Amino acid sequence: MNAAFKRLFINLIVPLLLIAGCVFMIIVGAGNLGKLKAYPKTEAEITRINTTFSGEDTEHEVYVKYVVDGKEYQRELGSYQSSFYEGKKIEIA
């Protein structure tokens, strides 16, 4: 390969291939949005809140239980609000 072709390949062809790949991924991703499962909203009860302190930081792990289609689930909520307390009923999706 001569130097001019290498420069053309690196400066023009590679970016065009990357852009084409990105456009393809965006189209595929947008097409799959309609296939995402919509989770039903349901009422959950806060069963436990673990609080840990690390220096100036405070972290909260909130655990909830809820029932969907007759089956009970328990999991970490992944978010915290200062109004949360054990036994509180909240709506989740």
Instruction: Please give the residue range of the domain that contains residue 74.
Output: 42-92
What is the mean pLDDT of the segment spanning 14-43? 83
Phi then psi for 91, rounded to 5 degrees?
-95, 130
By percentage, how much of the chain surpasses pLDDT 70?
95
Q: Helices (DSSP H) in 1-93: which residue ranges?
A: 3-8, 14-32
Express the helix, strand and coil content of the chain in percent, nearest 5 each: 35, 40, 25
| d(C-alpha 34, C-alpha 38), whole Å | 10
Assess whether 47 and 27 both reside in one domain.
no
Assess whether 47 and 85 both reside in one domain.
yes
| d(C-alpha 77, C-alpha 93), whole Å | 11
Point out the least confidently predicted range of 4-8, 34-38, 75-79, 89-93. 34-38
Give 87's pLDDT tier (boundaries 50, 70, 90). very high
Query: Per residue in 34-59, pLDDT tens?
Result: 676 677 789 999 999 999 999 889 99
pLDDT at 31 over 80: no
Query: What is the pLDDT at residue 40?
Result: 77
| Tally of structural domains, the chain | 2
Tell me the two tokens of residue 85: 């307390």
Assess whether 80 and 54 both reside in one domain.
yes
